[in-house]
């Protein structure tokens, strides 16, 4: 996924401005969440798709039983796959349970999520003219 998250560069005076298409930290957190919260019992695997205008990550199974949308967005940790989460923690891929959602929401708002009974999808939009969004400074 990092290979597709290219760095856009704009040469300005007196400095060069660089920005990734998608903020790396929220993308990393969403990828981890996609894997550790997927419901593998039904035979579905998480899906990462790259389109010309967005990166979509889909985790199947919807929210964990007993979890509300408010719980979901507040970062209350309710891992569906506890052993997988433990492995990620042992490998230092996650630091603190429940902190990933806060990292995503620092850069993006809730509108990037689509939550249904059967899946959770996060869509990181790729601006058509990414470099136009970078303010000119001098």
Three-state SS annotation for the chain:
CCCCCCEEEEECCCCEEEEECCCHHHHHHHHHHHHHCCCHHHCCCCEEEECCCEEEEEEECCCCCCCCHHHHHHCCCCCCCHHHHHHHHHCCCCCCCCHHHHHHHHHCCHHHEEECCCEEEEEEECCCCHHHHCCCCC
- First-to-final CA distance of the chain: 33
State the pTM of this model: 0.76
Two structure tokens written together for 1: 């996924």
Q: Which residue has the higher pLDDT, 97 or 122?
A: 122
User: Is 21's pLDDT higher than 70?
Assistant: yes
pLDDT of residue 19: 65
Residue 14 neighbours by CB under 8 Å, 6+ apart: 138
Contact 85, 38 (CB under 8 A): no
User: Is 33's pLDDT higher than 80?
Assistant: yes
The per-residue pLDDT of the chain, averaged, comes to 82
- Percent of the chain exceeding pLDDT 70 equals 79
User: Is 55's pLDDT higher than 60?
Assistant: yes
């Amino acid at each position: 996924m990092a290979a597709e998250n290219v760095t856009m560069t704009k040469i300005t005076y007196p400095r060069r401005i660089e920005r990734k298409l998608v903020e790396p930290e929220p993308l990393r957190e969403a990828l981890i969440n996609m894997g550790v919260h997927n419901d593998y019992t039904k035979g579905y695997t998480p899906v990462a798709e790259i389109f010309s205008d967005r990166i979509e990550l889909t985790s199947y199974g919807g929210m964990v039983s007993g979890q509300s949308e408010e719980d979901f967005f507040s970062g209350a940790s309710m891992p569906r796959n506890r052993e997988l989460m433990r492995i990620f923690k042992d490998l230092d891929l996650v630091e603190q349970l429940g902190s990933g959602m806060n990292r995503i929401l620092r850069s993006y708002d809730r509108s990037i999520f689509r939550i249904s009974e059967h899946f959770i999808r996060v869509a990181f939009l790729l601006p058509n003219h990414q470099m136009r969004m970078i303010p000119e400074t001098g």
